[in-house]
Amino acid sequence: MGTQSNETLGPPPEGVTPNFDTGWTTVNMAAVIVFSITFTLATVSLAIRYSTSAFIVRKLEVDVVLITLSWFTTIAHFVCMEAAVPLGWGKHAWDIRLSQAVAFQRSTIPILAAYMACTAITKLAILSVLNRISPSKRFHFATYSITALIVIYTIVYLALLAGPCNPLRKGSSTCIAKGAISHVVLNVATDIAIIILPLPTLWRLQMPFRQKVAAGGILTLGSAVLVASIARAPTVVALTPEADFTYKLAQSSVWSILEMNLGIVCCNIMRMKPFADRYFPSLTAALGISAAGSSSQNAQQGAYSHASRASEPARGTQLRDMVKQPEASYRESPEAIFVQSSRSEQVAYVENDGLDSPNRSTESILRIEERGSK
């Protein structure tokens, strides 16, 4: 029995003596440091998002619910990971007793499942925000298609984790390694798709280039987590049964922590404009996205520029400015800019985020219609 208890999970390299009392490794400490920093940022950003939803926008949006679920999932991921440390998480395979193999493999199931669920939910939250920027059917179709892809491949991978790739199954290391690589590819691909998704809409927006870049940066910020996904890829590729699997898996999870929490931060920043408008107006003014009034003015200037180019008698350009005034006296407040553009109609409108009196926003819609000759 004593001989069996000292048998290692993996063979040590030549000249290396197994050490079953290594304690915390550098990977374990790195995971705690990265989680402490990024989770704090995620929590602060979520608190600001709650504040914006409750006191400024005054409505509960889908992304708030989804990103809250994602926040709880990243906690579950870290707790499960730390619970696996005594079983060998973060240690080299030759520093883990073979008798701990089953317990260690069982502990990896919730860790992997939490990571896949968290990244998927965060992407869905980002897509729920982007889905509001245009009423275009094509845009909505693209958004729903990406959403469906994320949901489908996440369910498939969770099913694989419970079945053929279950760590408790003999020889599952190969399945886990291949599945992890393909999951990274799909993650990166969907991140790129989310980045590209709002760009055509923004490109057609009649507004100054600096303002267009600022708006595009905010809308595509949700997929800035792509950097973490790409950085994590080499550690996933290194996951092979022949390699130091237990240590490499823990290394990959450090990047997973960064990816999950950074995704939460980026998603919350996408909807932080009303908060910034109220408490940091100089910042949004510097970016050129400070207020509905300035946004409408920029859109109107673009409209007149567009109208001046349409000099053909057979084509007319009509500009209508419709303003709803909920109060006799009001002051326009900063809102987000969304655009729809098509052959027959270009629309630039300012979303009313529901500010109360005396800063209640007007709902100002600037509509440009191009009517061709029939």
**Strand-pair partners of 363:** 324
The answer to the question of residue 280 being in a domain is no
How high is the pLDDT of residue 5? Answer: 66
* Nearest in space to 25 (alpha carbons), one of 74, 63, 81, 79: 81
Q: Are 259 and 302 members of one domain?
A: no
The answer to the question of residue 25 being in a domain is yes
Q: Which of 221, 245, 271 is the last residue of a domain?
A: 271
Q: Which of 241, 271, 301 is the last residue of a domain?
A: 271
Q: Are 246 and 361 members of one domain?
A: no
* Nearest in space to 186 (alpha carbons), one of 142, 150, 239: 150
Q: Which of 271, 304, 329 is the last residue of a domain?
A: 271
How high is the pLDDT of residue 308? Answer: 44
The answer to the question of residue 277 being in a domain is no
pTM score of the predicted model: 0.75
The answer to the question of residue 276 being in a domain is no
Q: Are 88 and 14 members of one domain?
A: yes
Q: Are 267 and 294 members of one domain?
A: no
* Nearest in space to 223 (alpha carbons), one of 246, 205, 245, 196: 196
The answer to the question of residue 210 being in a domain is yes
Q: Do 284 and 334 meet the contact criterion of CB atoms below 8 Å apart?
A: yes
* Nearest in space to 253 (alpha carbons), one of 191, 195, 169, 176: 176
User: What's the domain range around 203?
Assistant: 2-271
Cβ neighbors of 244 (< 8 A, separation 6 or more) are 10, 92, 93
The answer to the question of residue 19 being in a domain is yes
The answer to the question of residue 24 being in a domain is yes
How high is the pLDDT of residue 80? Answer: 96
Instruction: Enter the DSSP assignment of 170.
Output: T
Q: Are 165 and 243 members of one domain?
A: yes
* Largest separation between any pair of C-alpha atoms in the chain: 96
Q: Are 51 and 18 members of one domain?
A: yes
Q: Are 41 and 10 members of one domain?
A: yes
Instruction: Please state the separation of Cα 173 from the chain's center in Å.
Output: 29
pLDDT along the chain (374 residues), means of 10: 66 83 89 97 96 91 95 97 92 87 90 96 94 88 96 96 88 83 92 88 73 70 75 80 80 93 92 85 71 44 44 37 36 38 38 38 32 37
Interhelix angle 245-270/26-51, rounded to 10 degrees, is: 20
Q: Do 300 and 317 meet the contact criterion of CB atoms below 8 Å apart?
A: no
How high is the pLDDT of residue 12? Answer: 83
Report the chain's terminal Cα–Cα distance, integer Å: 92
In terms of C-beta density within 10 A (0-12 exposed, 13-18 middle, 19 or more buried), how is residue 225 classed? buried
Q: Are 206 and 180 members of one domain?
A: yes
Q: Are 81 and 159 members of one domain?
A: yes
The CATH number of residue 84's host domain is 1.20.1070
Angle at 156 between CA 154 and CA 160, to 5 degrees: 115
Q: Are 261 and 293 members of one domain?
A: no
Q: Do 10 and 247 meet the contact criterion of CB atoms below 8 Å apart?
A: no
Structure tokens at 274: 């009303």
Q: Are 150 and 297 members of one domain?
A: no
Q: Do 74 and 258 meet the contact criterion of CB atoms below 8 Å apart?
A: no
Domain count for the chain, please give it. 2
Residue type, 228: A
How high is the pLDDT of residue 64? Answer: 95
The answer to the question of residue 316 being in a domain is yes
Q: How many CB atoms are located within 10 Å of the residue 255 CB?
A: 20
Q: Are 227 and 303 members of one domain?
A: no
